[in-house]
Structures are given as structure tokens and as C-alpha cells.
Chain A
Amino acid sequence: MFIALRDLWRSKLRFGLLTGAVGLLVFLLLFLNTLSATLLDFFIGAIESNSADVLVYEETARRNLQASRLDASLIDDIAAVPGVVEAAPVGELTLTAQIGEDLTDLSLWGVDLDGPGRPAPIVEGRPPGPGEVVMDESGMAEGFKIGETITLVPSGTELDIVGFVRDRRYAVIATAYLDFAEWVAVFEAEFPGTPVVPLSLIAVDVDDGLDPAVVGDRITTAVAGVEGLDRTTAARGTPGVDSISQSFNLIVGITFGIVVLVVAFFFLILTVQKLRSFVALRAIGASVGYLARSLIIQVIALVTLGSLVGAGILRVATLGSNPAFPLSVDGRLVLTVTGAVLGSSILAGLLSVGRIARTDPADAAQGIR
């Protein structure tokens, strides 16, 4: 403590610069994590936070909702699978919508309002009735507010927004939910003369206490041409999710490694610089343990301070973030990242401890300058 804090205090510039560097790197880590979490949320929130236990896709769709096309007749087959309480149709259609004066993309979901896949819980407003929709609340940024009316282009169908749900965005565009029967009408208006109205998914609720993944497998086996998946598997399996999360994991991993290396290198250099002092302190009776504790205290102080700086920058950065892409400071993420960086940095600091342990206190007496 004694040595550690005084050394920190007397080398403010050095430690300040390093704290800044660690802070920026931690910010980068936090920022990347936040970015990827928000991105994934926007991308597959509608699947990951769906109210249904199991989502059934067309087998050849590769868990791609937009490529999945199911026939309504399958609903009864799926409902008959043991463990299935109820099965309901889900249709998704991405189209252009006019809200106020603006044209924007809209992902329109037709669901059984009381069955599996229902838009719930409603966080604001009320469930939709005829000619009404509830939206994912992030749509606010694009101008979708309760009380506004959406006009679908080019069909001209009008839909009133009466409520909001949370974390139910899909494919990074504004997402609305309405009754399945109305969705079918929208689909037919969008594709005049269509011979079929394909379902995108079939949403399934399973018996209490049953593992959705198991029931999903049962459905896959029992019904030809479909694949039943629990929400998490379905969300993670959505094409593109892999690319996004792996790309980000890669960057985060590398950045993490760099934080640790920078801390390790820095302390190693500092240690080598102060080797004479360490030798002298060992000669006058300081144990390696004592010096190691001093060094580790410095590492902890520095990384903690750096993480605070990083979290602070993130806070500032999120203040200026685009409302269409809400980035927020997740306290648990900050703690996790700080903890991981701290743990690894302490390990990295042991490198320097090793260097101190290798010194020979007898050298102090030799008067080597």
C-alpha cells in the first residue's frame, strides 16, 4: 500500500496516460458489446423474446423466417404432437409504410392475438382490435407513436397504433403486430391475385414443465418438412446472427487481449525501470510478497480507474446516440468487462512480479549504479 500509492502519486503523468489508454480500450470493449447486443436485439428480438415456447419453420428455410413458407394445414398436425398445448399461425411481411409524411420500412406480423406468439406483454396502450396494431416501442424513433395511423404502400390499407411491446423488433426495422386474419387481408392486397397465403412460422405453446427444445425435436420428427426450435435456438440460428456475433466476438476478443497486453507490457517496463529500488527494498527486508502486493494494488487501481473512464466515455457516447439505435450503459456489462480485464491484468502483472522475484537482493550491496 505504502509504496504502491506513493509511486502512483509521484508518476501521475505516466499512470494518467496509461489509465487513459486502458480507459479507451475498455470503452471500446463496452461499446462493441453494447453495439452488438443492441444490433442483435433489433435483428432477432421478435424471435428471441417471442411469447411462444417453440417456433416451427419450414425445414429447408435454414431458420430464415423470410424464407420459411408453411401451409396452414400443418397447424393441426403440429397441435397433435404430444406436449403441444396449442399451435397458431404467424405471418411476416416486410413492406413500405407511410407514417406522417415519411415512407419507411415496416415488418408486419400477423399473429393469433390470444394464442401462442401473441404480442405480450403490452408495455403501453392496449392490445389491438380490428384495424389496429401494436408496435415494438423502438419504432418511436421512426415516428410510430400510439394514436398515429400507418398507411401501407401501395395498397393504402390504414392501421392505427394502439400499443407498444418491448424487445420485439425484427430485422432491424420497425415492427408491428396485428391479428392474423387481418394480416392475410394485407397480404392479399399486397399481392393481388395470389394463389396462396403462406405462413412464415407456426408458434407453439408446450405443456408446463416440458423442455421446449425437446418438444421442438418431437415436432421436427413427427411432422414432415418442418423444423421445430426453441426461441433461443431459433434466434441464434437466424442467418446473419452468426456473422454479427462472431465478428463482434472476434473484435472484442482481440481488444480484450490488447488491454491485457498493454497493461502487462506497461508494468513490465515500469518494473524494469524500478528494478534498482526493488532490489534495495528487498535488501533492507521487504519480501517479494510485499512488493508483489504493491504492484497488484497498482494494477487494480489502474484498471479500475481505467474502467471507470471507459464507462464514463460510454455514458457520454450513448448520450449522443441516435434515438433510432438506442445504446445504453448496462451496469452488469460494465462489471463483467471490468472484472474480466482486472482478472487478466492481475495475471499479466504476475509477469512483473516474476521479474522482481528473480532479482538478487545482494546486488544492492554491490553499489552497482
Chain B
Amino acid sequence: MTAINVDDVTKIYGEGHTAVRALRDASLELRDNEFLALLGPSGSGKTTLLSVIGGLLAPTSGRVTIGDTALAGMSKKEQTRFRANRVGFVFQGFNLVPFLTARENMTVMGSISDAPRSEIEARADQLLDELGLTDRKNNLPEQLSGGERQRVAIGRALVTDPDLILVDEPTASLDTELGTQVVRLLATEIKTRGKAGIMVTHDLRMVEYTDRTVRILDGELLDEA
């Protein structure tokens, strides 16, 4: 079944002669259970594409459909709920909440998404275990290493059992070994739970864990390498 359908999407930032065309007529399709690597140099529009798919940014033209839901028709409120319930984000800057512990950064979703709190808490504990964070669950982000924070961010993205996982440069601040470990973990989670995932990266070594690679350059999608 088609999980994500990006149809002819263009995104332009700004207006007039300062306008920047971040995406040009981008089209992409992703099935359930598929893990896609989006490969491209910095400034190529990777993050913009991810934001458009995740309902964070409205495209200037074109349409995005997630499952059977068209993002364009949603109100702001519906978009917020969509992100809370159906999308798991792992941002480049991790964006953990500094005053929440590792476990709380995950369980906070219990009050944000519509999923029952008890379910979230149970899944958080399970994820903490799977991600090897059980010993660190009561630490604040500032007490965690870069890799640990990255894993907490992944845990937070998975804790709501979303249909869609969007990951931005998960390995940017990790060494090769840790990076590989994190991506392998992501691939396992996506595969075993039957989700669709997109990982933005510019690290070719990570591609082997994904099902498919799409290159992006100056906002244009180029087919599989």
C-alpha cells in the first residue's frame, strides 16, 4: 500500500528576486515497510522535503498524501494532531526538551498525542530497553552523550507508534560505529513495526541499511543511484 505520495511539489521561500526555490516539481512514492534514504549535499532541499511530508511546511504547489489523507486539506489544528499521532520526527538538532529526563522526553507524548498515556509509558520503557537507555532514563539531556541524545530522539519519534518516521541527518554528530548502530536500529524498528521511513543523510555508508535511495540536488529529485 502507498504510505507517502508526493506529487509535483514545489516550495519557494520568500518573494520577488530574493525568492529561493527549495523544491522543484518533486515527486516521490513510498510504500509501507519501506525505508528510504534521501541523499544530497547541504542546501539541496532535503530538510524542506522532509518538512513538507511531515506537515510542518505547506508546499507552494503540488500535493502530499499520507496514506489516504491529503495534507493540503487540513487545518492548522488537524496538522498538529496529524504530527502528534501519525508522524515520528527525529530532527537534526535532536530538539530534546532540556528540562525533561530521557524517559520524560518520550512520555511527554502521552499528553501531546491522542494515544493513552499508559500505552505510551509502556512503549517508552520498552524502547528505552531496546535503545539501551534504561540506565540513563532519569538523566537530563545535558547529562547524556551525543549518541544517547540521538537515541532518545529516536525513541520519542517511535513512542507514539506513528505510520511515518522522518529522520534528519541522524549520524551527523556520531562516529561511524555509533552512526551505523543508530541507523541499523532505525531500520529494525521500521521493518519490524511495518512503518514507512525517510532518512535524510549525506553519508553514503548509511545507504546499505535502507531499501532505496533517492538523490536530491538543488531541489530536484533524481532517481535511484
Contacts and interface: CB of A to CB of B under 8 A. Distances in A.
Tell me, yes or no, whether A and B come into direct contact in the complex with CB atoms closer than 8 A.
yes
Interface of A: 1-3, 6-7, 10-11, 274, 276-277, 279-287, 290, 361-362, 364-369
Contacts of A280: 91, 95-97
B172 to A, nearest CB: 9
B89 A365 contact: yes
The 10 A-B pairs at the shortest CB distance, nearest first, are namely A285-B84, A367-B92, A280-B95, A285-B83, A10-B99, A362-B56, A2-B111, A365-B51, A286-B112, A367-B93
Contacts of A6: 99-100, 104
A283 B110 contact: no
Given A284-B83, A287-B77, A3 B93 contact: no
Nearest to A273: B98
Nearest to A11: B99
A110 B116 CA distance: 77
B201 to A, nearest CB: 13
Contacts of B82: 285
Contacts, number: 100
Given A365-B50, A365-B51, A365-B91, A285 B98 contact: no
B98 A3 contact: no
Nearest to B140: A10
A186 to B, nearest CB: 73
B108 interface: yes
Contacts of B107: 2
B85 A285 contact: yes
A284 B157 CA distance: 8
B91 A367 contact: yes
A361 B97 contact: no
A284 B51 contact: no
Interface in B25-65: 47, 50-51, 54, 56-57
Nearest to B58: A362
A285 B108 CA distance: 11
30 contacts: A2-B110, A6-B99, A10-B100, A274-B99, A280-B95, A281-B97, A281-B108, A281-B112, A282-B80, A283-B56, A283-B83, A283-B95, A284-B157, A285-B80, A285-B81, A285-B87, A285-B112, A286-B80, A290-B111, A290-B112, A361-B80, A362-B57, A365-B47, A365-B51, A365-B56, A365-B168, A367-B168, A367-B169, A368-B93, A369-B93
Contacts of B100: 3, 6, 10
A284 B99 contact: no
A3 B95 contact: no
Contacts of A362: 51, 56-57
Interface residues of B, number: 37
Interface in B178-193: none
B54 A365 contact: yes
A267 to B, nearest CB: 15
A167 to B, nearest CB: 52
A3 B108 contact: yes
Contacts of A285: 80-85, 87, 109, 112-113
Contacts of A284: 83-84, 87, 89, 95, 109, 112, 156-157
B89 A364 contact: yes
A276 B99 CA distance: 12
A9 to B, nearest CB: 8
Contacts of A368: 93
A285 B85 CA distance: 8
Q: Which of B50, B91, B97, B111 has most A Cβ within 10 Å?
A: B97
A2 B108 contact: yes
A229 to B, nearest CB: 60
A296 to B, nearest CB: 15
Contacts of B98: 274, 277
A361 B56 contact: yes
Nearest to A276: B95
B11 to A, nearest CB: 11
A270 to B, nearest CB: 11
Contact of A277 (B50, B56, B97): B97
Given A276-B95, A364-B89, A368-B93, A286 B84 contact: yes
A280 to B, nearest CB: 3
Q: Which of A1, A365, A367, A368 has most B Cβ within 10 Å?
A: A365
Nearest to B77: A287
B7 to A, nearest CB: 20
Interface string B69-91: 00000000100111111010101
B44 to A, nearest CB: 14
Nearest to B157: A284
A366 B22 CA distance: 13
A313 to B, nearest CB: 29
Nearest to B111: A2
Contacts of B168: 365, 367
A286 to B, nearest CB: 5
Contacts of B81: 285, 287
A186 B140 CA distance: 81
A152 B143 CA distance: 79
Q: Which of A1, A362, A368 has most B Cβ within 10 Å?
A: A362
A354 to B, nearest CB: 16
Contacts of B157: 284
